[in-house]
Structures are given as structure tokens and as C-alpha cells.
Structure 1
Amino acid sequence: MGTFLDLLFPLIFLFRIATSLSSDMEQQSTYIIHMDKSSMPAPFSTHDSWYMSTLASLSTEGENTPTHLYTYKHVMDGFSVVFSKSQLNQLEKMPGHVATYPERYGQLHTTHIPKFLGLKKQAGLWPAGNFGDNIIIGVFETLVII
């Protein structure tokens, strides 16, 4: 009987740790952060260093550290990051923050590329080209939601 009780306490302890770790992970979300390039402080030589410094300055007490995923430099200035809601609230109060876009998944609209491109099996270029046999066609489908 003593061995059962000796094992029960460590099992309960490990279960509590595992559930607290999983609840921390559930609080993490992915965001695209839009920043104002003109607000970058002078000591920083690149936007990457500014963004990384900004993320490092966020309080992570009891939370995972933010994970920088990508830096946007062309269409907009900013970065994508995985972090908690409280870290997002801190970042939104910092100078240079313009907007936050939570990760969203789009719905696929085109499932039949040949039909969408107007390729017909009966006549035209598609059957004349042996339906693309030994031909590489680069069609890249993407969905950008902002």
C-alpha cells in the first residue's frame, strides 16, 4: 500500500506541471504586426534589429518568449510573431505599432485549375499538347488576407 501512495504524489505533481505547460501553449497565437518604419529609433541600423529588440523587451513572466517568424520589407513594414495576448497588449502600446492582424485561414476557391483556366478536354491547346504530358507549368495559388 505504501508504494501506491509513494507513486501517487509524483504522478499528481507531473500531471499538474503538464497541464500548466499545455495551457501556456494554448495562449500563444500568431500575428502579423504592421510597424511604422519612420518610428524606428536612430540607434538601430536595420528594421530586423529594431523588431528583435522590441520583442526582447516584452515581459515574459510565466509565459513563453515571443517567436519571430518573418520580417516584411516590401508591401508593408513589420513582422510575424507567435506570442501571448498579454505580450500583444504590451506591443500595441509601443511607439511605431500601426496595426495587428491575427492569423486567419482563407477558404480555397479554385479546386479545378484546368476548368478555371478555360482548358477543355475536347478541343484547343490542352489536347493538342497531350494534356501537358512532359510539360512543367508553374501555377502558384495563394491567398493573401489583410
Structure 2
Amino acid sequence: MAKLSLSSVFFVSPLFLCFFSSLSSWDGLESYIVHVQSSHKPSLFSSHDHWHNSLLRSLPSSPQPATLLYSYSRALQGFSARLSPTQTAALRRHPSVISVIPDQAREIHTTHTPAFLGFSDNSGLWSNSNYGEDVIVGVLDTGIWPEHPSFSDSGLDPVPSTWKCACEIGPDFPASSCNRKLIGARAFYKGYLTHSMGR
């Protein structure tokens, strides 16, 4: 059986990406983040997830039914969903909805966070806070390599007992990827996949 050379793989991969990205809205639906007023949840719903699904089922189902991707309850109360323009307009008019925002891929701002945030090595908040010692930092990332030396937990203290997050495992992210430095991980890829692959 013939093997593909590395250069062939690098040539073929962009072709697949171009093909899939051209399908991004083949079904007429786009990904949106919907922010709702938590206090508006009717008591007959046992959870916000049930309420979010009910809101989506109440929308017109043409050309396709709206599809729930994620429900959110920590930083904001809401959900992300695949919606048609008609469904989007209906949600924007709903009295419980604060905003309906298109879900968009974002470009990286920097790889030098302290400089980007204006921290100085010699004075100010950065040095006064012991350069972030004992601080848990949350990062939204496009992908990480847990095996990289920068994620080594050598010499670090145990994870704080008050930490309440999870290490979500996946096909390319085994539980062993989390350690005392990389103390939690979650994958939010459904909106990206539906945008880039048209599903």
C-alpha cells in the first residue's frame, strides 16, 4: 500500500479545510450566543438547560430546527445554538433574551500576556503580587500540547482543595494531560466545528 509523503499531507489538508469552510452555512443555520435573564426562567422547568431547549423548540423550524450547542450558567446565563435568520429575529424579540450575538472565530491578540496587560517586571501590580504566585489563571486557547515542557508541574504545590473545575477528557486529551499546573480543561468546539464544517 502506498504511503502519502509529508508534503502531500500538507498539500491535501488545506484543500479539505477550504472545502469544509465553504460548507459553513449550507443548512442555512449559523452559530449564535444567546444571553438570557436568569430570573425569567419559569419555575416549571427543572433546570436552565430545559428552559433553553424549550425556548429553541418555540422557534419556527424552517428551514431547520434550531440546535442547542451548549448551555451556560457561570459567567453568563444563556446558551449557544445554531439558528436561521428567522429564528434569530424571533429570539431577539423574546422578553427573556438580553442579546443574540453571532459566534465568531477570534484571532489571537498576543503571546506575551504580561506585556499585553501592561505589567512591568520591576514595579506595580505584577511585582507586588509576587508575579502571580498562587493565582489560578483561566485561559481560552485554540489548542494546547500538555506534553510541552511549559506544562510541567515539577516543584508545584498540590491543586487547591477549593478548586471546583474538571479535567474534561477527549479523544486527543487523556485524563493524564491534567496535572498540578494544568489543573482543569474543557473543550468548547461544537460551535467551531459547525461553523467550519457546516454541521
TM-score for the superposition, normalised by structure 1: 0.58
Q: 2:102 — aligned with what? A: 102
Amino acid at match of 1:31: Y
Q: How many residues align?
A: 106
CA RMSD in angstroms comes to 3.5
Q: Which runs of 5+ in 2 are unaligned?
A: 1-22, 117-147, 154-180, 186-199
Q: 1:83 — aligned with what? A: 83
Task: Give the 5 Å matches for 1:115-134.
Answer: none
Greater percentage in strand:
1
The question of 1:60 aligning with 2:61 is answered yes
Q: Which runs of 5+ in 1 are unaligned?
A: 1-21, 117-131, 141-146
How far residue 48 of structure 1 moved from its aligned partner, in angstroms, is 0.7
How far residue 135 of structure 1 moved from its aligned partner, in angstroms, is 6.5
Q: 1:33 — aligned with what? A: 34
**Residues 135 and 81 of structure 1, relative CA distance in 2, 3 Å threshold:** closer
How far residue 87 of structure 1 moved from its aligned partner, in angstroms, is 0.5
**Residues 111 and 25 of structure 1, relative CA distance in 2, 3 Å threshold:** same
Greater mean alpha carbon deviation, residues 75-84 or residues 26-35: 26-35
- The alignment partner of 2:86 has SS state of helix
Q: 1:14 — aligned with what? A: none
TM-score for the superposition, normalised by structure 2: 0.44
Tell me the percent identity.
31
Q: 2:152 — aligned with what? A: 136
Greater percentage in helix:
1
**Residues 135 and 107 of structure 1, relative CA distance in 2, 3 Å threshold:** closer
The question of 1:49 aligning with 2:50 is answered yes
